[in-house]
Structures are given as C-alpha cells and as structure tokens.
Amino acid sequence: MFRGDDDAKGSSGESRAQTTLDFAIGVSIFLAVVMFIFLFVPGIVEPFTVGAQDETVTVNRVADGLTQDQLGSSQRPGVLDTACTVDFFEHAEDGTDITACGPPKDDLADFVGIKDRQNANVTVQGNTSAADVGSEQLCWDGSSDALVEADDGTCDVRLAAGETPPTTNADAVTATRVASLAGEDVTVVVEMW
C-alpha cells in the first residue's frame, strides 16, 4: 500500500473528501438550475401581463363594433344612426343608461364590452365648414339637427365619451374608422391606454 492511500481513507475505509470533479459537477448543476429559472419564469408570468399588443386587438374590436354595428346597423356598416349616436355620447358622459341603441347599458365600458379597469376614449371628429382645414371634435346641435364643431357656441352634445387621454403615454393605442353621421363624413377615433 502507498502512504497516500492511507491518508485518503477514513476509519470506515471510505473516501473522506470531495474531489475537484465533484465540486465542478455540483456548481454546474446549480448554475444550470439558476439560469433555467431566470429564463423560464418570465415566460410563465408573461400571459398575465397586459401589454400594448392586447390593447391593439381590443381597440380595433371596439372601433369596428361601434362603426359597423352598435351605433348603426350591421346591414349598413359605417353609417351611424344619428339618434343612437347622440344618445350614446350624451348618456355615456352623464352616468345614465344608454338606451337608444338596444338593451340599456350602464356606461362606456359596458356598452363597448371592455373591462372597467381599461381606460378608453371615443371621439367623433370631422370638418363641417369649408374654411377649416383638418379635423375638429364634433358636437350635435339639437336645435338645427346638425353636426357642428366643438368650439361652436351651439353645441348641445359633445361627441366624445370616456376619460381624457393622457398626452404623454407611450402605451396608448388608437384606432380610427371613417363613417357617415347625419350625411357628413366623420372619423370615429377610439383610444385606449
């Protein structure tokens, strides 16, 4: 027997120390598990985080629903019913039920089918005068039964519903649809954040 063999064995005759190879294998397994956790856990949590991609789908669904069905007729998509549209914007802001467009709905979120925690704004824009260039927010003038620009003094119902969109929010998503309201071409703008 060699002298080194006696030193490596304990009283029971087994090896008593960890070799360099054992240490390297243990550390490698530990590092592999830690890397797996850091790479795998974000993928598990990702479906539960809401991002702009989800809101893109939702904002397009809301814009399509409003312009092709809810504020008009599915037989004539893009042509908004004047009474329904005015009722929608009037009651979406004052907190009373929206009733002219079918079954009563409580508020904007209930009407367009989004969750209460989601922020949305719906605005109708257009150009009602030949002198102006560009789109302005529109209002409904009940005395003349016509669309007017929001800064006009004869505005009865502002055609805007929901919270005011933030000006500095990179996560805001906007969808626009061109429609016809009271014989005028308008743009329905839906913004969510």
pLDDT per residue as tens digits for the range 106-147: 788 888 888 888 889 999 998 766 655 667 889 998 888 888
60 and 41 together in one domain: no
96 and 167 together in one domain: yes
Average model confidence (pLDDT) across the chain: 82
Provide the H-helix boundaries in the chain.
3-8, 20-45, 52-65, 82-94, 108-112
pLDDT of residue 104: 80
Beta bridge partners of 9: 15
Task: Work out the pLDDT band at 1, boundaries 50, 70, 90.
Answer: very low
147 and 176 together in one domain: yes
Q: What is the mean pLDDT of residues 37-47?
A: 79
154: containing domain = 52-192
Winning range, highest mean pLDDT, from 51-60, 116-125, 143-152: 116-125
- 137 contact partners, CB below 8 Å, separation of at least 6: 123, 124, 125, 149, 150, 158, 159, 160
161 and 128 together in one domain: yes
Tell me how many domains the chain contains. Answer: 2
pTM score of the predicted model? 0.68
157 and 92 together in one domain: yes
Cα torsion angle, 46, 51, 57, 62, sign: positive
94 and 24 together in one domain: no
30 and 66 together in one domain: no
